[in-house]
Structure 1
Amino acid sequence: MGNSVYINIPIENLERSKKFFGALGWKSVPEFSDDNAACMAISEHTYIMLLTKDFFPTFTDKAIADTKSSVAALYCIAVDSKEEVDSYVEKALHNGATEGKEFPNRGEPDMYFRSVYDPDGHGWEFIYMPEHSPSHPG
């Protein structure tokens, strides 16, 4: 079994965030969810932990970044096709996201990027890189 990744993000509204990420096709993991947090499976070994802003400080002594006006991190998900990139972005936009920065072609003609900001302002990038896609590890 490989390593698993859990991305912990602070959110304003637990139900809204569960609905938003569920609309992207990410599955709820009830055994790691309660009134303060929800675990969503992105893939077999990658999860997002949605932690309410009241609960998130129990994990850190640092202030929570205001992701509506500044960036704390950008989360990039590699997918298997350009169509899958577009599908994720369109689902996100339909469910309350805003379009992110447009990526210029950086000299990699086969790469395809798009990004969104979720309803809490967290940045999500979706990328297709044929030679490095999840089903074609390079």
Structure 2
Amino acid sequence: MATKIFVNLPVKDLNKSMDFFGKLGYTFNPQYTNEQAACMIVSEDIYYMLLTEPFFKGFIKKEIADATKTTEVINCLSTDSRQEVDDIIGKATAGGATPYPEAKDYGFMYSHGFEDLDGHLWEYVFMDPNAAPPHEG
């Protein structure tokens, strides 16, 4: 059995978040989506559970971090091309996201990211296996 990952993210406005990520091309599994949560499909094995803050709070004892002020994680996803990285960042900023950080070209890897509507950081990368530095050791 392949391991699947479900990343849980608190969101202030579930409908706005679903609309935002829908414009980036993501779809949602209606079986696990209701007024408190939405199951965003990233791939066959990766899902993001967008949870309203009150619903998210029910799973934790700590306070919910204000992602606009602190960073605990950067959600990093790979793409198939540099153009796909740029396309996603373009759609995200058109939908209200803030570019973060600036695009970086390392030769073998190209990355760019954004801060979403709730302040969560997302980075998209394209790694060219033909340009990767040789492995030493």
Whether these two folds match at TM > 0.5 is: yes
Q: Secondary structure at the match of 2:112?
A: strand
Q: How much does 1:110 deviate?
A: 2.1
Q: Secondary structure of the equivalent of 1:102?
A: coil
Where 2:69 maps in the other structure, the secondary structure is: coil
Aligned partner of 1:121: which letter? G
Q: Structure 1: which 5+ residue stretches go unaligned? A: 133-138
- SS class of match (1:34): coil
**Structure 1 vs Structure 2: percent identity of aligned residues?**
38
Spell out, residue by residue over 1:45-101, the C-alpha distance to the aligned partner (whole angstroms, 9 max, x if none).
111100001100111111110001111211000111000000110010111100101
Please name the residue that 2:83 is paired with: 83
* Amino acid in structure 2 at the alignment position of 1:59: F
Q: 1:94 to 1:104 in 2, by over 3 A?
A: closer
What residue number does 1:94 align with?
A: 94
Please list, as runs of the form range in 1=range in 2, the aligned pairs for 1:1-138 lying within 5 A after superposition: 1-102=1-102, 104-105=104-105, 108-131=106-129
Query: In structure 2, what is the Cα distance between the partners aligned to 1:86 and 1:103?
Result: 9
Counterpart AA for 1:112: Y
What is the alpha-carbon root mean square deviation over aligned residues?
A: 1.4
Query: After the TM superposition, which parts of structure 1 deviate over 6 Å for at least 4 consecutive aligned residues?
Result: none
TM-score normalised according to structure 2 size: 0.90
Unaligned runs of 5+ in 2: 131-137
Look up the SS of the partner of 1:54 in the other structure: helix
Q: How much has 1:104 moved relative to structure 2?
A: 4.6
Q: Which entry has the higher C-alpha Rg, 1 or 2?
A: 2
